[in-house]
């Protein structure tokens, strides 16, 4: 079940961002995903709103990558982040130890675009 709007607003305030509308809609319904996608053969996790603050504190990208907000990843050490240095913020894939934005791999301009291509193509490694 998705998150109520008040929980999404609390997360936005705590992270100091305004989520894109398609991500807000995703958080509202279905709220999260954790599954293996075929035919891509890749695993994707998108965290529920209640896990975002802990995930961002634990992953710690904001200290290394100002404007980074982690929303999920591959279930291992790769993290899916919004780059809030840009508006609208694109989605990038970074390693948990990434030290510079130049090391990130662009995944999509929006969550909608990302979720459209992911089931078929999976993570973009270039």
| 126 within a domain of the structure (yes/no) | no
The number of domains in the chain is 1
Query: Along the 126 residues of the chain, how does pLDDT read in single tens digits?
Result: 677 889 999 999 999 999 999 999 999 998 899 999 988 899 999 999 999 999 898 877 767 899 999 999 999 999 999 999 999 999 999 998 899 999 999 999 999 999 999 999 999 998
Structural domain boundaries, residue 115: 5-121
Encoded tokens for 19: 């989520």
CATH of the domain at 73: 3.40.1580.10
What is the DSSP secondary-structure string of 62-103? HHHSTTEEEEEESSSSEEEEEETTSSSPPEEEEETT--SGGG
Distance, CA of 52 to CA of 55 (rounded, Å): 5
Separation of alpha carbons 44 and 60, rounded Å: 20
């Amino acid at each position: 079940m998705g998150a109520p709007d008040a929980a999404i607003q609390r997360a936005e305030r705590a992270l100091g961002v305004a989520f894109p509308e398609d991500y807000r809609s995703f958080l509202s319904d279905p709220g999260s995903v954790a599954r293996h996608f075929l035919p891509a053969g890749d695993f994707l996790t998108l965290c529920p709103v209640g896990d975002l603050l802990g995930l961002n504190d634990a992953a710690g990208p904001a200290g290394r990558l100002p404007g980074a907000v982690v929303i999920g990843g591959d279930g291992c050490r790769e993290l899916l982040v919004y780059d809030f240095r840009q508006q609208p913020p694109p989605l990038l894939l970074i390693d948990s130890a990434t030290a510079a934005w130049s090391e990130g791999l662009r995944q999509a301009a929006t969550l909608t675009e990302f979720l459209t291509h992911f089931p078929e193509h999976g993570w973009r490694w270039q």
